[in-house]
Amino acid sequence: MLNVLVIDDERSALDALLDEMNEFDEIAVAGAFTNIMEALEWIKEAHLRVDVVFLDIEMPGMNGLEAAQRIVELDASIDIVFITAYDQYALEAFEVSAVDYLLKPVMTERLAKTIRGRQLAHRRSDEERKSQRGSRLSITCFGIFQLRMGEIGTQIVKWRTNKTKELFAYFVHFREGELHKAHIIRDVFAELDEHRAYATLHTGVYYIRKMIRNYGLDSCMQLNYANDCYHFALSGVALDVEAYWRAVDRDKPVTLSNHRACARAAALYRGDYMGSSNYIWALPEQRKLRLSFLDLIRKLSAFYFAEGWLDKAVELLEEAATHSPLLEEGHEMLLDAYGKTGDFDALRRHFERMKGMFRQELGVEPGTAAEAVYRRWLE
């Protein structure tokens, strides 16, 4: 059964909708309000879960669009269904996370369609949540940003929009911090005008919270809001960038006692941090991690060579060149490794392949350092 809340400042319209709802055994009216502020306070304080809010758009003091944003901030799991005498608000309504839109006077057949749709959506959410309970959750930030579930990470969460994905990535990046709404707008939605930016933010938060609820991730992800700030926390989630930093100590050399941990860290770096998405706000961390990775593979490959593990050194540097093909310093190390092992055919092939890739992808020639390594071994 769906618990619903009805908000309309016109008592006659409110009573008419309540009469229609009395015809449906599938719903229970948890509350009905003509004052939006009282309704918001009730939602904030209520111990009863609300599944759907039927909300009038044209109300004095605070219109329904603004009220919907406030409701989403209080509890993003609530579905918003707008009711209005005018259809001019339709597009804007869906920007603030409405799942449906009813025109007054509300017809029984149309209300029945909305109720069936919400029942089906909630049933699917419950099934999804049960199926994911106890499954392993991981987030990859190197290369392609992804949220994965399942015992071997086979299920990848699909995002409603690229902006919702970026917003979630932003929360992961700044996890445990207090993120003011204005800063999120500046970093993630700068290309939008202020009104549309805030509407898109609220929509993104709505769908992220919906995802957390639908997949039953409440115990390992929390997205809270207070004092104009969002706070995102993770617990029991495998995060590749955290695993990388735990395994790497830039001040320590690679030794027999830690080389396996260093190799595991290098294997995690499957491309630049958030590299496939080009998020501007991620660039400082991306540069920091790139420098750390170059330092790591330089020390690790030198250790392998010193121990006589030539194949491991070449394999390490080939893997790095594959996952970070535009990282010129990695190519320099690989060319040098081919030279040290006497594999001059591989050295020639890789140098020509690298030149072609840089011309095609960047429209430039490789730097002089790579060519200097090449010539040192072949001249």
Please say whether the structural domain 137-234 has been given the CATH code 1.10.10.10. yes
**How does pLDDT run across 20-65, given as a tens digit for each residue?**
999 899 999 999 999 999 999 999 887 688 999 999 988 888 878 7
Q: Give 3-state DSSP helix, strand, coil % of the chain, rounded to 5.
A: 55, 15, 30
**How does pLDDT run across 84-125, given as a tens digit for each residue?**
876 655 545 555 556 787 888 888 899 999 899 888 777 766
Domain 248-378 class, CATH top level: mainly alpha
Q: What is the mean pLDDT of residues 172-177?
A: 95
Q: Which residues contact 234 (CB under 8 A, 6 or more apart)?
A: 139, 172, 175, 220, 221
pLDDT at 47: 67
pLDDT at 127: 58
Per-residue pLDDT for 129 more than 60? no
State which fold the 2-131 domain adopts: Rossmann fold (3.40.50)
| Domain boundaries along the sequence of the chain | 2-131, 137-234, 248-378
Q: CB of 72 within 8 A of CB of 83? A: no
Amino acid identity of 189? F
pLDDT at 266: 95
Q: Return phi, psi of residue 28, to 5°.
A: -125, 125
Amino acid identity of 19? D
Nearest-10 crossing angle of helices 194-214, 64-74: 40
pLDDT at 68: 84
pLDDT at 259: 94
Average pLDDT, the chain: 88
Which tokens go with 305? 């060579």
Across 187-197, b (16+ Cβ under 10 Å) vs e yields: bbbeeeeeeeb
pLDDT band with cut points at 50, 70 and 90 for residue 206: confident
